[in-house]
Structure 1
Amino acid sequence: MTSDTSRFAFARSNFPKGFRFGAATAAYQIEGSSFGGAGPCHWDTFAQTPGNTAGAEDGSVACDHYHRWEEDLDLVRDAGLDAYRFSMSWARVLPEGRGQPNREGLDYYDRLVDGILERGLEPWATLYHWDMPAALSDLGGWRNRDVADWFAEYTQIIMGRVGDRLKGTATLNEPWCVAWLSHFLGHHAPGLRDIRAAARAMHHVLLAHGRSMEVMRAMGLENLGIVLNFEHARPADESDGAALAAARYDGIYNRWFIEALLHRRYPEIVLEGLAPHLPAGWEDDMDLIGRPLDWLGVNYYTCNRVAPDPDQPWPALTSVPGPLPKTDMDWEIAPDGLAFFLKRLSALSDGNLPIYVTENGMADSAPEDDQTRIAYLDSHFAAARAAIDDGVDLRGYFVWSLLDNYEWAFGYDKRFGIVHVDFDTQKRTPKASWHALRAALREPAPAE
């Protein structure tokens, strides 16, 4: 850090020419699901079930971005950012998940994309950030193989409306959360704890990605990718049992999706547990799943200390607290893990796949000076710069998040935004991190 702790240590000129700086959000977390003709999604019903979310809070109003999007896009522009990453709500576009589109929803995303472009920003869209239409959840959601065709239909409709103006498009955000966190651990909607459901979701989410890519390629669209999350698995101690547990965790969390996408395989260390529960003939889907990507999005926040738990069934592991400083999510601050994954992923793709950090940030409700967030981001920007120096084709970095928002099962208590939101009045107030980012980005990129 510099001696002035209200500023970042980096400037725009520390990164290559053309490197994109942006901020990211997600539809259900900011838009307000009760507006504009959106249908219910499984997060609406999950939150209405006692004990599932903090204070039984939901995203029905969230940040009211549906009505306040112009003000929010002005904040992106005024911060000196280059790009805005957002998601579209499947339930807003197709209230029943299939069939008749919602004209209000399509018109809204039309206005939003035009508004991004009018401010000189690049629109980077994600088709799915966890808001499965409730009508499709009734039919099994991600457990049902038909979800791939449902998702393809949704892709055709929304991309037919706005796809011609997007700079980049991701099919899905964090399939580990969509499948494992939500169907095995039960922490997110639909809140299941069932290994068969998890195994099928782990496969079908990738099959849906493949079908969506197939549709967009047929439409002639370009710059298509997917966003995966990664968490650095560290053995809790030096024992062989901890090493094996960490390897299993790494296989489930970090290897399952990327190895399917890049090498059309699932890791053996995970198939040991999931193979009996995968759908019959899953091997025949790997060619579709593994069709080429134009870019890969990397979401990174923390590491995890993993220990064996021999009294439990497979994967027989647990997490233990670590010694590093922690965020309000109780996540350790470990920026070296970001550099580790950027280099690992570059090597896994033989250096031929452009990479973007599509989410990085921290939950912090500390005083307004926001120094902990500035230090967190600074250390991760430095890790990204180090990865570039090591030859990684890293092309952009999106801070999570633009706004304090609905943080899923944690409700509105965990504040990730570089802009403070008063959820009673919806007043937006840029934090010190927003101002520090603005100052860092004012310095122009190096000349040709």
Structure 2
Amino acid sequence: MHPLVYGDYPPVMKRNVGARLPSLTARDSAMVRGSLDFVGINQYGAILVEADLGQLDRDLRDYYGDMATNFVTVPFESTVTRNQQVPRLGLRNHEAPWALSKLLEHLQTHYGNPPVMIHENGAGHEPDPSGGFLYDDEFRAHFLRVYVEAALASVRNGSDLRGYFVWSFMDVFEFLFSYRFRFGLYGVDFAADNRTRYARRSARWYAGFLRGGGGDLTPAAAASVSTRTHGSTYSE
């Protein structure tokens, strides 16, 4: 962000990396400064960071060593060794909308309030090992609600947030998680030849929220929730 806004690396980066940091000529600086159209954000959780300047004492340092920090991911509740993120299964019950608010405030305060698009925001769950379908994903509707509320509050506080996209419309192959997590508003039966889709509760809530023009954000209780396994259907 710093070169794109100010035309130069941040001071801490120049101090930590030193001569290994590629230099920017005056022409380079002029080309990159102000060249961004918008800032795209994929927001799922937060990272708690603390300084670890001892890492700068090593003769050979990688990207993480140059950062000279230790961090723990939230909401994954991972135990971090050498800053490697180890997601814990069951991340669906956690959210950190305050992190989105702080990030938008940071961009507004330190980088001239650039236009922002939230490209991805969503909650994942583990598929049922027995092959059952998840219809009642109230946790996902709640996750989206608290993030939309945080986004709206940031806009009212002056953030130039211009767009918001839910991840994802339907279950897909995830680059980080393969098929171990499902993020879709619409579920997909990957065991079926035609990959049958079905609407989850979050899809109905989000559609209703959009049609309502920003009214009550609270997900309504489902009157009847269907749970279907392969070859059978019943209601709870």
Measured against the shorter chain, the TM-score band is: 0.5 to 0.7
Q: CA 1:293–1:310 in 2, change beyond 3 Å: closer, same or farther?
A: closer
Matching residue within 331, 334, 355 for 2:116: 355
Matches within 5 A, 1:404-423: 404-423=171-190
Identical aligned pairs, as a percentage? 30
Matches within 5 A, 1:214-363: 258-279=1-22, 281-283=23-25, 284-307=27-50, 312=55, 313=58, 314=65, 315-320=67-72, 328-329=90-91, 333-351=95-113, 353-363=114-124
What is the Cα deviation at residue 399 of structure 1?
Answer: 0.8
Provide the alpha-carbon RMSD of the alignment.
3.1
What is the Cα deviation at residue 305 of structure 1?
Answer: 2.3
- Distance between the aligned counterparts of 2:76 and 2:177, measured in 1? 22
Q: TM-score, normalised by structure 2?
A: 0.66
Matches within 5 A, 1:9-408: 258-279=1-22, 281-283=23-25, 284-307=27-50, 312=55, 313=58, 314=65, 315-320=67-72, 328-329=90-91, 333-351=95-113, 353-365=114-126, 367-408=134-175
The aligned residue for residue 432 of structure 1 is 201
Question: Which one scores higher on RCO, CA 8 angstroms, separation ≥ 6?
Answer: 1
What is the Cα deviation at residue 410 of structure 1?
Answer: 2.2
- Distance between the aligned counterparts of 1:438 and 1:430, measured in 2? 11
- Distance between the aligned counterparts of 2:93 and 2:148, measured in 1? 18
- Distance between the aligned counterparts of 1:444 and 1:389, measured in 2? 16
Unaligned stretches of 5+ in structure 1?
1-257
Radius of gyration: which is bigger? 2
What is the Cα deviation at residue 354 of structure 1?
Answer: 2.6
- Distance between the aligned counterparts of 2:44 and 2:159, measured in 1? 19
Unaligned stretches of 5+ in structure 2?
59-64, 78-87, 128-133, 216-236
What is the Cα deviation at residue 329 of structure 1?
Answer: 4.8
Q: TM-score, normalised by structure 1?
A: 0.37
Q: CA 1:430–1:317 in 2, change beyond 3 Å: closer, same or farther?
A: same
- Distance between the aligned counterparts of 1:386 and 1:445, measured in 2? 13
Q: Tell me the number of residue pairs that the alignment of Structure 1 and Structure 2 aligns.
A: 187
Any conservation in 2 of the 1:303–1:331 contact (CA below 8 Å)?
Answer: no
Residue identity opposite 1:335 in structure 2:
P
